[in-house]
Structure 1
Amino acid sequence: MWPIYMYFGNQSKYDRSRPSAFAAHHIAYIPKLSEDFKGWYQEQYGCTPTEAVMTFMRREIPHAIYAELFDKDFMNAYRDGIILRCGNKVTRSMFPRLFTWSADYPEKMLLICCKCLGLHPCGECNISKDKIFRLGTVLDRGTWDRLRRQDSELRQNKVERARELIFKKGYSILSKAIDYLLGDHSWMPTRNTFSTLFYKFGFNFYNIIVSDVLHEFELASGRPSSHILFVYSTLLINKNVSLLQNLAARDYEDFLQVSLPVFEGLFGIHDKNVQDLLFNLTAVHSFAKLRLHSDPALQTLDQHTTQLGKSLRTFKNHVCPDFATKELAKEAGAREQRRAKQQERQGAGNKGKEVSQKKADKTKTFSLSTYKVHAIGSYTRFISLFGTTDSYSTQVGELEHRRIKRFYSRTNKVFRYVRQVTNQERRVRIVKSIERRLEDQQKSKAAEAENSKIQDSSNPCIPFEHEDPLPIADPTSHYQVSMTRSHRLPIMPWLDKHEDDRAVNHFLRKLRTHVFCRLTGECDEESVTPSDQRTCIHNNNDRMYVHKVLRINYTTYDQRRCQDSINPRTHSDVMVLSPNDVDDDEPYLYARVIGIYHVEAGLRNDPQNSSSKRIDFLWVRWYVSADNRSCWKSRRLPQVGFVDGSDDGAFGFLDPAQVIRAVHLLPNFKEGRVSTILGLPWPVELMKKIKTTSDIISICIFADRDMMIRFCPELTLGTHIASVVPDPPDSSDIEDNSDSSEEIEEEEEEQDEETLDDASHSEGESDRESIDSDRYTEGEGSDYGYDTGGSDEEDVENIEDNQFDVEPNIGPEDGEEPFNHDVEILDIEGFSAL
């Protein structure tokens, strides 16, 4: 069955895209042609129906269903309107109108009664197949106006004449007489219900069919990248990718977004043409799926469409002839199965009979004479007429199909299953309405018990087995870090353990400088002197508190709030604004987060700031730009690389409020693999990427639409500059029950010792911290091994070996699953992360 969904255009498109909002109204389910038809036909005409007759009858069924839907009452409402009292108690006259009809290409051609893949394959214009290759040219743009399809009485008369020849004079549906009447426009001898009912109102049914990025690009025109796989069939990719098995549209989209560094350097003299093609494909796809457009954005999309047309023609004429490509084994097997079934239907073979001779694999050629290539040029026009493509994308309907499939699994699948699906859909809608009323009346709050586990001093980030829960955050705050103090990390014993590690060189000095600047509001860390650093004191015996995840809330280009989850173990790359003294060509800086911490510190000599304050910070390793070329002019992704480990600025600290959002980085496989750990942040035990990460890394600016817009500030879409948000409210006065009473008593006993140390600091007679800081400068880079054994200092409690043998209760609140990539969240949103 084929469902018909109705959506109200005056409802927010963000609600329509969420299946959980129940914005889809199930109008009808189009049935298949009954199996009894063949028996009836044989009784009437004395022979079995041909395949052409069966196809003709299948085309008649949808329009018969449409005629039942647009009954007398609907036509009266369409003409005269219907009087309704709205929610604000205002009575208005409503006029139902049909704006867009979203469907796949065969369904669209069925709607407008035109042949699929005919001589004139486009449903909006009469362009011939041999002219489609001119995508992006001036002639192609003029085709939409010169050869635009228009409903007329002439078309209606020709269809009626063809039906008269078929039903009264006995002409075959495939006869030359029918083709003579309808072939010039690829029409079919089917009465169009929209033309019959709405033509008198000046309605042109050709105008309601719109382009569809899902089927026409991601599943079709995006397949030049798939043809590249045929060209380079020995490519070492995941077998499921290279075999193209069980792939959905989102898979092709993901492949396209990361394809540039994967294919770079594989095609020799044709590498530039392949890279240009992939970049232009990705750019057109990204601009076409923007959820907010402006006139400059539409002009940019049109320019990229022109470049894409040139790249496709170059790929077709200069790249493809040098490679002999053949179909995949699974495609050859599917073709043989189709041929066997066709022979069986025609009576040429028996059921289950194997094909005696297997033909050789067919040659796969790249063609530009398809409708879905031609449809790329219509995105700009449809966006100007009907708005952004996410409003009428078939992805909304495909998501609604999931509900129907779940309903079908609970039917008998044999007798009256359509009615059973309909009853289930109505029942679910009633239950959901009751649930909404209950949710408005009840509010529940879950209290999370904090786990007072000690952080292992070997790791700068919390292991997977440990919990660090985060409650639901305020979406207006810029970032969120757990308020717990469960995972303590004494600084001095930790530095002693890794004194030979280059990553912790001057760690204490840099930390003091960063904390001092945060407390005083000083922007220039280079101006901070050692005496200024000594005015910064640390409570809790110089401890850092380690956290598992950092959540970043930011505003997207379409004024929506979005969230990224930063976990040092998994998603650890971030972007920040460049300082004012940096060239405008590099608006952002990039860093890899090694650890997420907070300390409680205050200023010694400032009575107003003497109390301890919570300071959240990130320990990062910085990236540096590897090229100065413009990504849009060169049609290549921007590239960065790690700052050399011997540089004093390779590692540093970052205020979480300065983080704009997470960034997706792609290894540059052409440059080879890293041979030393100098290209990786510390420690190697956690990252486990020494053999798969290259020295040069590409920035995936097409990871989502918001990321792409941040590299196109001239489009004036949304917000492009992230303002620095102040630190969260001081948490020093907040009662924290994570530490036990024994630990509090121990800290009180240690306070006297800290006071004595503080006095010695102030007099400058015994600066233990300065001595220890200088001691760590010895032996820089002498040893890159990371010892996981050994005992900690007296302030650290050893963790028993069997403490985490039981399976921990790890959930999304622990940061292991990013907020925007949770399965249930995706189902609620309707789309993956933009």
Structure 2
Amino acid sequence: MGWVCDTATISKAAVQRLVDTVILGKSFSPDHFKGFSANAEYQRMDDYLAGGSGDEGGPRDGWRTGTIRLPMPKAREKQTEKAAPYLEIPDVQYRDIVEVTKAAFMDPSVSDFNMQGHVLMYDPGDERAPGTSTGEAYTSNRVLEFEAEVRNRPNAAACVLETVVAIWSLYSDSTHLSNFGTASIWPLYGWLANLSKYLQLKTSLYSAHHLAYIPHLPDAVYDAYLRAYGTHPTKEVLAFLRRDLFQAVLRLILTPELAQAYCCGIEVLCGDNVRRLLFLRFLLHSADYPEKLLIAVIRAMSEYLCPRCNTPQKYFHEMGKKRDMQRRKTNERKDTPERRSLVSRVRSWIFNKGFALKNNNVKEQLAFGAQAPTPSAFSDFLFPLGVNYYSLLTVDLMHEFELGVWKSLFIHLIRMCVYFGPETVHALNRRYRAVPPFGKSTIRRFRNNVSELKKFAARDYEDLLQCAEPVFDRLFPEPYNRITMKLLGAMATWHAYAKMAIHTASTLRSFQKATTDLGDLSRKFVDVTSDLETRELAKESRARARNKERRRARSSTSRGRKDAGADGGDEDESSSKARHWNISTYKFHALGDYPQSIIDVGTTDNYNTEKGEHEHKHIKRFYPRTNRKRVDFQIGRHIRRDDLFRARRLQAKEAGKRKEKGKPTNRLRRSLVLGAIADEPLPRVNPGERYQMSRSTRYCENLTTWLSENLGDPAVAGWSEKLDYHILSRMFGGDPETDFDDNDRADIHIVNNCIYKHKTVRFVYTTYDRRRRIDSCNPRTQADIMVLNPSDDRAEQPYWFARLIGVFHVNVIYTGNRPATRAVQTFDVLWVRFFGSDDRQKKFGLHVNRMPRIGFEDAHSATAFGFVDPSAVIRAVHLIPAFHDGYNDNGLGKSIGRPRPEVDDPNEPDTDWAYYYVAMYADRDHVMRFRGGGIGHLATREATRELERQNYIPPPDPDDDTDTEEAIVEKEQAAAGGDVEPDVEMDVEESEDEEELEPEPEDLSDSDAGAETDGDDAGDMSTAEDGNLEDDEEMCSDDDY
């Protein structure tokens, strides 16, 4: 253990695994370590990897080492590009994609691959015809087009092998390797989209392939440039070299052999012993915005900021309008011979004629589309193959919305809170802290003041949005409250549709409408709040001052000057500036591309950069094993070794599992709630079961004693009668309130007059995307559940909601005349406290972007408390207090019907919140239960038909030819002159301090872009290198991009 304590990075689990699998292994002998040398063993592995697998015909790992030479231009220096002085960057690590593809398909895990794309159909369960759905990448339109292209190739009929399209999706992003310092790595990952996205997200399967480590432009460029030209490089030259460097790395992996595999295929004996012909195709390249500029080879700080279309920035705020959608189609970026020739010609001017990068002729020639004078590697590779490389650039939900549009709006809402006074800020913080958590990690507790924005990752901003409606309800005065609530609802609805794992034609039309609504409400919000004199937060002011200092320092270095403050002026940089919410940004404009992107390449979880941030964890764990020199080279070697050992381990079978037994605890009295330390372990859930409860009889409660101890408590009034009627209804069916009488009750005998309490109940349910999931509920922490409304008036409200206050099972003998067994029967029972709907709320649901509001029934009502069959529970539900409505004891007082303190006021321990919001945005499954039409929701489909009808958007008329840009403008102008509220136009003035610099490799992610994510809904980020917001770190402005 002394060695363990001296080794800071080893975990207890790793130590236990070392002892169990190595030291206690049957083949272990201390003699094996005689003459052991770690360096020698590492060298043996490296030599083995350098020679391939060692088996003739076996897969190689495909790693290569290359050298890049970057020609350096200089204004007024006339020379050919080949003759120009160059910067040499050695030891660039990359892989041969053809070899990687072969190895992946030769692996036994190929049995998990989908070899053929297909159309996924579903049955809506009514008179409608079966419909299509989109989820996995291999069900997307683009993959089906790939396969049609392969099938229709020349001489395809003569091929006797099964043809398979190997679908590559790429991701690249720079990430920091430590909390302090500048150490970073810039990996290029690839996934084979033939593997299900659900398996790709499991980092334990190591499905990501490391294709290259992109080097940063070294600081030695200043020395090399000074030696060559006697002066320092300008910022334009540095940006030029960074673009060239990125494209040069791509050229290393886009080889002629890859082009051959693209056109003619490669023959591979796959891991399932079937010989196939593989055709490689690139589906997409996912990256954050600054890196998209490098991939698309377009300039920052220009009029044309979108990498997918040539829409000018002045129209970005029109996102969602019909003319905006039409403009995207009309101005779609296309890789044409004219564009390629133009870039080549301008680049020759820079070298051959000595034109400066800021030369007016250069700027004018490349103005449209903001082209940069750098040839695209993807263009050079794909253009001869007839592919538009701009189509690879897909949307990025995490950076563009969660860390982009939504984050900027949330920051502006905090500015509004500051404007309305410190009490408003305090109320915001207090309300968020009072939001209960939900699920294992679906909604996590907000323990700190959200207004301080400390240590927030992408999943934290997502949680803030999903809980925003109850928190901001009536936080601001009118008219700001109304528009804020509408916008928050529209944001949450849009985000839910954008993050769904499976879409139908109906949900995609709803998504398109949600996009339009979000654009309209965003413009209206900007107009309504424009009269508020909101100002920067203190954190924003400090970040702006730091950014300006960095720009001064870079400018001073590039000019060879030491007076960093030469261009500073006397402005007080720490003072706050007036700020409004800016929607003339690329990230806001990008929201309009999401519906079409899902149709083209699948749902966003196929290519959200969240997946790449997960993979960064594998790289970061190797950084402590390096000597901090040539980090990317050393980490690359560690990755190769790790791949080798993992392949070896997969060939061996692990030993059986060990079971641990807990310690007994004392039994609780009075309440039917077991304490947190109560020991009642449950086995693994069988996915075929509807629910799971323990069968333990350890915690027995005598009913006579228990009822007498709680006499006078409204929660136990009529308790025995209700339980008997509940059991009779489960035995014979019927209504427990009307179909049985006291004579029937007399025939029910509870064995030993005892019930057996339990700590937890687990509910197993099918999600909207046909996955089996588990909700674990208990009366102490996560107690709220939803069941189907058993009454006939469930069209508007198909669900009832209840809170668990007891989980138990009871053994019963029936002695009556009805046909039933006389043997002992066991019934699992949930004792619950029911909620009722808020009659004041007239409209709610997804179609109006409003959460349903409910409140507890009066304690003296006959329906306030009751019993529920666990098999009738749909799943757990997340309830958030309606904070503005305050508290209410509902006639209950101090009672065992309230097992936990409910409100956040210690002076009101025996009260409830007057009302609660049903958090229908907690996850996508909740959203579909309140929308209707979930493919996996077979059990509730009929009950939610009315919800589906409310959210139904009819398909567009195929004969409608009025969607030309002129017709759209005329219709919108007509709408503006009639009863329809016109869209609000916004003129945005950009200040000098808000301009962006050309992206640098070490700055390629947003301030929170490195936020690594865990689970379905978010990522865990606790390290400063990935951009968490502390006082000494840069904060991303809402004016970014």
Q: Map 1:324-343 to 2 at 5 A.
A: 324-343=533-552
Query: In the alignment, which of 649, 656, 659 is matched to residue 446 of structure 1?
Result: 659
String of CA shifts for 1:557-608, please: whole Å, max 9, x gaps.
Answer: 1100011010110000000001142331110000000111111111124696
Q: In the superposition, relative to structure 1, how do residues 723 and 128 fare at CA in structure 2: closer, same or farther (>3 Å)?
A: closer
Match of 2:758 in 1: 547
C-alpha separation in 2, matches of 1:566 and 1:428:
40
Q: What CA distance in whole angstroms lies between the structure 2 residues aligned with 1:486 and 1:388? A: 48
Tell me whether 1:645 sits opposite 2:859 in the alignment.
yes
Q: Report what 2:748 is aligned to.
A: 536
Q: What amino acid is aligned across from residue 87 of structure 1 in structure 2?
A: G
Paired residues of 1:38 and 1:48 also in contact (CA < 8 A) = yes
Aligned to 1:589: 800
- Whole-angstrom CA distance in 2 between matches of 1:680 and 1:11: 55
Shift of the 676–532 alpha-carbon distance from structure 1 to 2, 3 Å rule, reads: closer
Residue correspondence of structure 1 range 359-370 to structure 2 within 5 A: 359=573, 360-370=575-585
Aligned to 2:340: 156
Q: 3-state SS of the aligned residue for 2:286?
A: coil
Pair 1:409–1:829, CA change in 2 (3 A): farther
Deviation at 1:264, TM superposition (A): 1.3
Q: Give the TM-score of the pair, scaled to structure 2.
A: 0.67
- The answer to whether the aligner puts 1:701 opposite 2:914 as a matched pair is no
Other structure's SS at 2:775 match? strand
| Residue 177 of structure 1 pairs with residue 387 of structure 2 | no
Q: Which residue of 2 aligns with 1:818?
A: none
> Equivalent residue for 1:21?
205
Task: Give the distance between the partners of 1:151 and 1:589, measured in 2 at CA.
Answer: 56
User: Of the candidates 929, 936, 943, which is equivalent to residue 710 of structure 1?
Assistant: 929
Separation in 2, partners of 1:84, 1:448: 50
Does 1:213 pair with 2:397?
yes
Of 255, 279, 288, the match for 2:489: 279
1:185-196 equivalence runs, <5 A: 185-196=369-380
Q: Is 1:262 paired with 2:480? A: no
Amino acid at match of 1:64: A
Cα deviation, residue 78, structure 1 = 1.7
CA distance in 2, matches of 1:356, 1:681: 66
- Cα deviation for residue 47 of structure 1 reads 0.8
- When residues 344 and 120 of structure 1 are mapped into structure 2, their CA distance, relative to the original with a 3 A threshold, is closer
CA contact (8 A) 1:642 1:679 kept: no
What corresponds to 1:125 in structure 2? Answer: 309
Corresponding residue to 1:424 among 632, 638, 656: 638
Q: CA offsets per residue over residues 487-540 of structure 1, 9 Å max, x none? A: 11111111111101111101111112212322334454432211211211112x
Matching residue within 604, 608, 627 for 2:815: 604
Superposed displacement of residue 351, structure 1? 8.6
Separation in structure 1 between the aligned mates of residue 340 and residue 638 of structure 2, nearest angstrom: 41
Indicate which of 148, 166, 181 corresponds to 2:350.
Answer: 166
Aligned counterpart, 2:98: none
Following superposition, the deviation at residue 340 of structure 1 comes to 2.3
Cα distance change of structure 1 residues 830 and 85 upon mapping to structure 2, 3 Å threshold: farther
Alignment deviations for residues 5-53 of structure 1 (CA, whole Å, 9 cap, x no partner)? 1111111111111211211000111011122221111111011112221
Asked whether the 8 Å contact 1:135–1:309 carries over to 2, the reply is yes
Post-superposition Cα deviations, 1:102-126, rounded to whole Å, max 9, x if no partner, equal 1101111110101134201111111
- Structure 1 stretch displaced more, 139-148 or 331-340: 331-340
- Structure 1 match to 2:903: 689
Which structure 2 residues correspond to residues 28-427 of structure 1 after superposition, within 5 A?
A: 28-222=212-406, 223-233=408-418, 234=422, 235-236=425-426, 237-238=428-429, 240-267=449-476, 268-319=478-529, 321-347=530-556, 358-359=572-573, 360-413=575-628, 415-427=629-641
Matches within 5 A, 1:615-626: 615-626=827-838
The AA in structure 2 aligned to 1:622 is F
In 2, Cα distance between equivalents of 1:699 and 1:566: 17
In the alignment, what sits opposite 1:503? 715
Q: How far apart, CA to CA, are the structure 1 residues paired with 2:272 and 2:699? A: 54
Unaligned runs of 5+ in 2: 1-184, 430-447, 943-1011, 1021-1041
Shift of 1:286: 0.3
Whether 1:636 and 2:854 are equivalent positions in the alignment is: no
**For residues 108 and 829 of structure 1, do their structure 2 counterparts lie closer, same or farther at Cα, with a shift above 3 Å needed?**
same
Taking only the aligned residue pairs, the percentage that are identical comes to 33
Structure 1 segments unaligned to the other structure (5+ residues): 725-824
Structure of greater relative contact order (alpha carbons < 8 Å, 6+ residues apart)? 2
What SS does the corresponding residue of 1:7 show, helix, strand or coil? Answer: strand
Partner residue in 1 for 2:937: 719
CA deviations on 1:716-759 (whole Å, 9 max, x unpaired) are: 533153599xxxxxxxxxxxxxxxxxxxxxxxxxxxxxxxxxxx
Q: CA deviation at 1:675?
A: 5.8
Offset, 1:138:
1.1
1:560 to 763, 771, 775: 771
Q: Which of 662, 669, 672 is matched with 1:457 structurally?
A: 669
Give the aligned residue type for 1:700.
Answer: A
CA distance in 1, matches of 2:1014, 2:847: 37
- Single out whichever of 225-234 and 498-507 deviates more from structure 2: 225-234
- C-alpha distance in structure 2 between counterparts of 1:394 and 1:619, whole Å: 44
| Contact 2:813–2:825, Cα closer than 8 Å, also in 1 | yes
Contact persistence 1:214–1:249 (CA under 8 A)? yes
Find the aligned partners of 2:576 and 2:941 in 1 and give their Cα distance.
Answer: 59
The match for 1:570 is 781
Separation of aligned partners in 2, 1:110 and 1:544: 67
Partners of 2:790 and 2:299 in 1: how far apart?
59
For the 8 Å contact 2:190–2:208, the answer to whether it is kept is yes
Supply the distance in 2 between the matched residues of 1:723 and 1:657 (Cα, whole angstroms). 17
Cα gap change, 1:675 to 1:696, in 2 (>3 Å): same
- Distance between the aligned counterparts of 1:684 and 1:426, measured in 2? 57
Query: Partner letter of residue 323 of structure 1?
Result: L
Partners of 1:243 and 1:328 within 8 A in 2: no
The amino acid that maps onto 2:756 is Y
Shift of 1:62: 1.0
Of 790, 799, 802, the residue aligned with 1:579 is 790
Q: Indicate conservation of the 8 Å contact 1:19/1:828, yes or no.
A: no
Aligned partners of 1:18 and 1:828 also within 8 Å: no
Which whole-Å CA distance do the structure 1 matches of 2:587 and 2:246 have between them? Answer: 23
- The change in CA–CA distance for 1:584 and 1:212 in structure 2 (over 3 A counts) is same
Deviation at residue 169 of structure 1 after TM alignment: 2.1
- Is the 8 Å Cα contact of residues 112 and 206 (structure 1) preserved in structure 2? yes
CA contact (8 A) 2:316 2:586 kept: yes
Q: Name the counterpart of 2:1009.
A: none
- State the distance in 1 between where 2:373 and 2:891 align: 70
Aligned partners of 2:859 and 2:890 also within 8 Å = no
1:556·1:562 contact (CA, 8 Å) conserved in 2? Answer: yes
TM-score normalised over the length of structure 1: 0.83
Corresponding residue of 2:34: none
Contact kept in structure 1, 2:293 and 2:307, CA below 8 Å: yes
What displacement does 1:648 show?
1.4
Q: Please, which moves more after superposition, 241-250 or 471-480?
A: 241-250
SS of residue paired to 1:615: strand
